[in-house]
Structure 1
């Protein structure tokens, strides 16, 4: 008897669910629409094979009579008059030069032995949904930005950071973290963080990856009826930036001032150091917003400002 009732009820439940989805506002069906802008590559020519710091053969210079070459060393031992002291001074100068070269290599993002070092920074900003114009600005950047060149990515990073700082009055939550890792681990962390953020979207409705733009027509996702009140309260913008070298740590975000400092530091990264960038924001669709419950559930790391 129960099985027979179950067989009868299943089609009715399916029809009821279909009606609910069909009659529900599009903003509820497509909850948490998301956008993504990004570019760059961890396999660019910038990261060629690491330079080895091992023993190398000494350069051989031509010797013509009293010119440069082996005869230059002979007077140190057979010429008398302070030859040993001169040799020690040359050894000391050579050691200093080697240390200086290694230090310069380290500052440029190499660990001197293995893979180049890459810093991965994440900054997240939770804003009140009344910051409607910010959605429009980031949507416009997604359609206009050059995401294929380091200069274009640097400009994108500056524009998004500036847009966010202009809406600092709407900031409610924030988070920042930074890690410096060898290239393979940095690449893994970067794309894991990207996938984690993208998994929070029900649909990616606007993307620009390496100048490849994909957009879901707004008309297909607009509200089913006019005058339906907003169902959410927040917007979230996430910046993922991978860059060579170490340009300083980001502060722990507990205040608006600290979050502003994080954005300013990211915006100041030189274009030639940028490896990859992704800007992810949700909701992407105008009129679609994020509920407080969803924000606290999906972004537990964010702190109230």
Structure 2
């Protein structure tokens, strides 16, 4: 009797084990379906530009004989009151010496009032200014295949180490999206602000959140480090196994998602996006950020690899905040 129970248990265990394997494979395929390949372009640093308003070289004057020499006294921007040259100034005596002392004090007071009025936010009057971090996302129909090709070309040729190159990439990516309004389906975006000493970690969190949605990065150019990888072939889903013709007839996917991230000095904000006009305005704004304001940027898109798939279910799962435009 005991042996019969063991044999019956073994016969039951085998189909249970097979069922467990099938269930595990099904879950792994479902997880894989929620990720596609991605491309990435980025660069920059969170350091104050050397040419910013926070630094100014000593002023010079031109003597009668030509040439330029440092001014013989410190010059303080923002001050200046037109008192007569020989009138005594508040107990400092008359003449040039008293006037220079008064101008120094006046310049110091003017700058102090400016700092107090702006709360230290004005770029150039604070060593820890405000940084605006903007994110703009656009979901397009996958028929916009030329957009993927444009982004691939930008990634392969961009100079992401220079301020001019970074501005050009952001402009070209914005223009590529502006040229394809007929494919716009979804959009979303927003801006958050942080001080310079905390902005880098905020920016990196947003970048990592977007990169984590990719199954792998098959093309990237970050700080002029160009990397290309061959797309790893994922296991077909159960639906594709039931209908093998889908593996051949299906195109590159239903949607393309493009994300633009920009960290800028000072207060900058893209509009709330509720329709195509709002999206057009936001693309123009983020594409026109000047080089002296742009600290860092990222352009990310998925799918990147040819014949990769990003379905409507993937978009709903990974980008639930996007709105129809």
Q: TM-score, normalised by structure 2?
A: 0.69
User: Cα RMSD (Å) of the superposition?
Assistant: 4.1
Distance in 2 separating the partners of 1:156 and 1:282: 17
1:201 aligned to 201, 207, 214, which one?
214
Query: In structure 2, the residue corresponding to 1:263 is in which secondary structure?
Result: helix
Asked if 1:282 corresponds to 2:302, the answer is: yes
* Number of the residue aligned with 1:65: none
Q: Secondary structure at the match of 1:296?
A: helix
Q: Secondary structure at the match of 1:249?
A: coil
Runs of 4+ deviating beyond 2 Å: 1-18, 28-31, 43-48, 72-80, 87-112, 220-228
Query: Aligned residue for 1:139?
Result: 152
| 1:153–1:89 distance in 2 versus 1, CA, 3 Å | closer
Q: C-alpha distance in 2, partners of 1:97/1:182?
A: 21
Q: List alignment gaps of at least 5 residues for structure 2.
A: 1-5, 56-71, 74-85, 95-100, 237-244
Distance 2:125 2:92 in 1: 42
* Gap change, CA 1:3 and 1:181, over 3 Å in 2: farther
Q: Equivalent residue of 1:260, what SS? A: helix
> What secondary structure does 2:289 align onto?
coil
Q: 2 CA distance for matches of 1:74 and 1:31?
A: 77
1:253 aligns with 2:273: yes
Gaps of 5+ in 1: 52-59, 62-71, 81-86
CA apart distance, 1:228: 3.3
1:291 aligns with 2:304: no
Q: Report deviation, 1:150.
A: 1.1
Match of 1:265 in 2: 285
CA, structure 1 residues 223+130, in 2 after alignment: closer, same or farther (shift >3 Å)?
Answer: farther
Distance 1:10 1:46, change over 3 A: farther
For 1:238, the equivalent position in structure 2 comes to 259
TM-score by length of 1: 0.73
Is the Cα contact below 8 Å between 1:109 and 1:118 reproduced in 2?
no
What does the per-residue CA deviation read over 1:54-94, in whole Å, with 9 as the maximum and x for residues that have no partner?
Answer: xxxxxx97xxxxxxxxxx896745989xxxxxx99997776
Report the Cα distance in structure 1 between the residues aligned to 2:289 and 2:212, rounded to whole angstroms: 28
Q: Deviations over 1:180-212 (max 9, x none)?
A: 210233212211111111111111111111111
Contact 2:134 2:269 in 1 (8 A): no
Q: How many residues align?
A: 272
- Alpha-carbon contact 1:136-1:286 (below 8 Å) kept: no
Structure 2 SS opposite 1:42: coil
Residues 180 and 171 (structure 1 numbering): CA distance in 2 closer, same or farther, change over 3 Å?
Answer: same
SS in 1 for 2:306: coil
Distance 2:228 2:34 in 1: 15
Contact 1:235 1:289 in 2 (8 A): no
